[in-house]
Amino acid sequence: MGDKEGSGTFKRNKHDFKPSQRKDGKGSTIDSSSPVILAFQLFQHELDARHDKYERLVKYSRDITTESKRTIFLLHRVISEPNKDDVLVEANRKLDGVREKMKQVALELVDEDIYQYYRAITCGLQEYVEAVTFQHFITNRTLLSLEDINKQLIFDNNINIASNNEDQTRQSILSLQITHVDYLLGVADLTGELMRLCISSVGNGDINTPFELTQFLREIFDGFAYIGNTGPYEISRKLYTLKQSLGKVENACYMLKVRGSEIPKHMLADLFVSKSELLEHDDGMS
């Protein structure tokens, strides 16, 4: 009982304790010029600046992701549009706008460690890789390399410098380099868009594109298979999706080769989609 009372007395005194009181009874005030206080104020301003920059980079990444997705949707119209050049010109214009956003990201990361803000921009970088590689495949039927992508992300920047009461302009080089991880994940997402391109091609009676896509996807799958479990953990999930996309395209080639003469061209796409859904259901059950 005595212990309980002692405990209660201690708690009551603990709540009544004021930080400004000292054992000698003298009050204390915070010295704003103290080196410790000044140091913590400096830490506060630095952390606030980093948080603000992180939020700006998140917003830029969202804008890059949105515009890249719109570019991909536009590129899918190449199959159905009679004038493909107009679609490609519009896609190039959109990608130029995306690169302007990426220039703003590069400005934010000047003299900064990119990996401190990596999570803020990685989604946008992956989506950009998907869009630019998709556009390159449609026009050249090849995979755009990481080196060529990074060459497109080198920007000229004019900086105004005040010297001797005169404004001078100094030209500097800005660059935003895509990492190997973002490139691999973007290429893995590209395979899904190629599978959708295959469906659209079959629906429009194009029997050559699915066979080109099959060979291309096989080469990409072989490349990812070499990475195996040694790469980032996202690769395993992407590899499973890539395998599904490859199976759907191979199924389309099978139907075109074996049953193409039996089924009207306008019905091939519906049959292909229903067959793909059946394969997905079987994979899910297994």
Amino acid of residue 184: L
Look up the pTM and report it.
Answer: 0.76
| pLDDT for 179 | 92
Highest mean pLDDT among 16-25, 29-38, 58-67, 216-225: 58-67
User: Considering only the top CATH level, what class is 179-281?
Assistant: mainly alpha
Residue 137: which pLDDT band, with cuts at 50, 70 and 90?
very high
Percent of the chain with pLDDT over 90: 38
User: Alpha-carbon Rg of the chain, whole angstroms?
Assistant: 29
Indicate the helix (H) or strand (E) that contains 140: helix 118-140
CATH 1.20.58.200 in the chain is located at 179-281
Give the Cα separation of 98 and 60 in Å (integer). Answer: 10
Outline which parts of the chain fall under CATH 1.20.58.190: 42-151
Of the pLDDT bands very low, low, confident and very high (cuts 50, 70, 90), residue 260 is low
pLDDT band at 234 (very low <50, low <70, confident <90, very high): confident
Q: Give the C-alpha distances (Å, rounded to integers) separating 266 from 81, 89, 200, 207, 210.
A: 17, 29, 11, 12, 16
d(CA 125, CA 146): 12
* Least confident piece of the model among 69-83, 181-195, 263-277: 263-277
Highest mean pLDDT range out of 23-32, 129-138, 207-216, 239-248?
A: 129-138
Beta strands of 164-236 (E only): which ranges?
Answer: 166-175
More confident residue, 172 or 69: 69
CA distance 26 to 92: 73
pLDDT band at 151 (very low <50, low <70, confident <90, very high): very high
Burial (CB count within 10 angstroms: exposed 0-12, middle 13-18, buried 19+), residue 101: buried
Q: In this predicted structure, what is the pLDDT of residue 268? A: 58
- What's the pLDDT tens digit per position in 170-220? 557 788 999 999 999 999 999 999 988 888 887 777 778 888 888 999 999
Which single residue is written with the structure tokens 């992300």? 153
What value does the mean pLDDT of the chain take?
79
Query: 117 with 50: CB under 8 angstroms?
Result: no
Highest mean pLDDT among 28-37, 54-63, 109-118, 173-182: 54-63
SS3 142: coil
Which architecture does CATH list for 42-151? Up-down Bundle (1.20)
- Per-residue model confidence (pLDDT) at position 163: 47
- Ranges 27-41, 59-73, 133-147, 185-199: which has the least confidence: 27-41
